[in-house]
Amino acid sequence: MKIIDLSHPICGGMPVYPGAEQPVFESVASVSRDGYAEKRISLFSHTGTHVDAPSHILFSGLSLDQQTVDHFVGSAAVLDFSSVPGSTIDIDDLEPYRHLLQKADFILIHTGWSRHWGSDAYHSGYPVLSENAADWISQFNLKGLGVDAISVDILNAPDLPVHRRLLEHQMVIVENLNRLQDLPQSGFTFFALPLLIRGGDGSPVRAIGMI
């Protein structure tokens, strides 16, 4: 068995969605002073490698605690679009992978954009699904879709149409994945377990691929 860590570390100064606040870490106890260490952490629910629940966008969408834990684990396949020209992934681009979508619980879209993590380039120009492609991919019996970019929609997209199309089908969305190039195309299990937050619209995750 081999485990690939697909997460970015959470730390001060890390990339966050434009307009979001940086996570804040405050040491409230130390080993030298108190005999134990503890930190107070303040962060947005969509910080770093994280999962979006349907309630993130949909007024009546399910929250994290309303989805069973097995919804965040399953067989997965990687669709490699790191060399696709342009910034839109359309149905014609997805069609060759139909056989993978028919068998997988999760589809992970590898764009190569994680290489820009920590630079301004990370926040714009990343490939996204077209609205038609999002509708097409939603016809498959998927638990979720993951991307190695900051969002499944272009930055500040009105009404977040790709989010909406996926979440309306009770899929979860995992954003800011890393190291997708280290995974095989298929034949592995994907884990993106969120904190069990009551009413949670999203949560950081420690995403992994188990081969």
DSSP state of 135: H
pLDDT tens digits, 5-57: 999 999 999 999 999 999 999 999 999 999 999 999 999 999 999 999 999 99
pLDDT tens digits, 92-131: 999 999 999 999 999 999 999 999 999 999 999 999 999 9
pLDDT on residue 119: 95
Q: Mean pLDDT over all residues of the chain? A: 96
Vertex 45 angle, CA 39 and 46, to 5°: 120
Between the alpha carbon of residue 206 and those of residues 9, 122, 130, the distances in Å are 9, 20, 28
Can you read off the two tokens belonging to residue 108? 């992970």
CB within 8 A of 179, min separation 6: which ones?
Answer: 4, 5, 6, 114
- Whether the model pTM is above 0.85: yes
The candidate with the shortest Cα–Cα distance to 134, out of 117, 116, 148, 154, is 154
For the chain, domains (ranges, CATH) are 3-12+45-210 (3.50.30.50)
- Going 98 to 177 to 47 to 157, the CA torsion angle's sign is negative
